[in-house]
Structure 1
Amino acid sequence: MPSEVRLINDRLTRKTHGQLECFPYHSGFIGKRKVVVAVTGVGVTNGAMVATLFAHHFKPSELVVSGTGSRFNPRIRTGDTLISKKTIHHAAGSLTDDGMVYRKVRGPLPGQMTHWAYPPDKELFRLAKAAVSSYEPEPVTVEGETYTPKVMPGVVSASDLFGVSDAKIADMKAKLNPDLMEMESAAIAQVCHQLGVPHVVFRAGSNRTQSDPGAAYRKLGQTAAAAAARWTIHFVEFLGNQSSR
Structure 2
Amino acid sequence: MFGILSALGQEQGDLLARLVPSAPPRRIARRDFHVGTLDGMPCTLVQSRIGKVAAATTATLLIREFGVTHILFVGLAGGLAPALKVGDVVVATALIQHDLNAHPLFPKHEVPLLGCARFPTDTGLSALLAAHARQFLQDEAASMSTLLSSVPSVHQGLVATGDQFIQSQTAAQALQAELPDALCVEMEGAAVAQVCHEMDIPLAVLRVISDTAQDSAGMDFPAFLNGVAGVYANEIPTRVLRAWADKEMVSTGEGKA
Q: TM-score range by the shorter chain?
A: 0.7 to 0.9
- Shift of residue 57 of structure 1? 1.0
Match of 1:141 in 2: 146
What count of residue pairs does the alignment treat as equivalent?
234
Q: 1:196 aligns with which of 200, 204, 207?
A: 200
Is the alpha carbon distance of 1:194 and 1:237 closer, same or farther for their aligned partners in structure 2, counting shifts above 3 Å?
same
- Using the size of structure 1 for normalisation, the TM-score is 0.84
Output aligned runs, 1:176-187, within 5 Å.
Answer: 176-177=179-180, 178-187=182-191
CA deviation digits over 1:186-213, x for unaligned, max 9? 1000110011111110111101112562
Output aligned runs, 1:45-194, within 5 Å.
Answer: 45-93=53-101, 102-107=108-113, 113-132=114-133, 134-135=135-136, 136-137=139-140, 138-142=143-147, 145=149, 148-177=151-180, 178-194=182-198
Question: What secondary structure does 2:14 align onto?
Answer: helix
Please say if residues 94 and 119 of structure 2, whose CA atoms lie closer than 8 Å, have aligned partners that are also in contact: yes
Match of 1:235 in 2: 240
Question: What secondary structure does 1:102 align onto?
Answer: coil
Distance (Å, rounded) in 2 between the aligned partners of 1:179 and 1:228: 20
Point out where structure 2 has 5 or more consecutive residues left out of the alignment: 1-7, 251-257
Please say if residues 81 and 227 of structure 1, whose CA atoms lie closer than 8 Å, have aligned partners that are also in contact: no
> Superposition RMSD on alpha carbons, in Å?
2.5
Is the alpha carbon distance of 1:74 and 1:193 closer, same or farther for their aligned partners in structure 2, counting shifts above 3 Å?
same
- Shift of residue 127 of structure 1? 2.5
Match of 2:26 in 1: 19
CA deviation digits over 1:134-186, x for unaligned, max 9? 4334515346x3x5533332321111111254343223212313222111011
CA deviation digits over 1:65-84, x for unaligned, max 9? 00111122232222222111
Aligned partner letter, 2:238? I
Match of 1:3 in 2: 10
Distance (Å, rounded) in 1 between the aligned partners of 2:10 and 2:23: 19
Distance (Å, rounded) in 1 between the aligned partners of 2:87 and 2:41: 25
Which moved further from structure 2: 8-17 or 203-212? 8-17
**Higher percent of residues as strand:** 1
- Shift of residue 126 of structure 1? 2.9
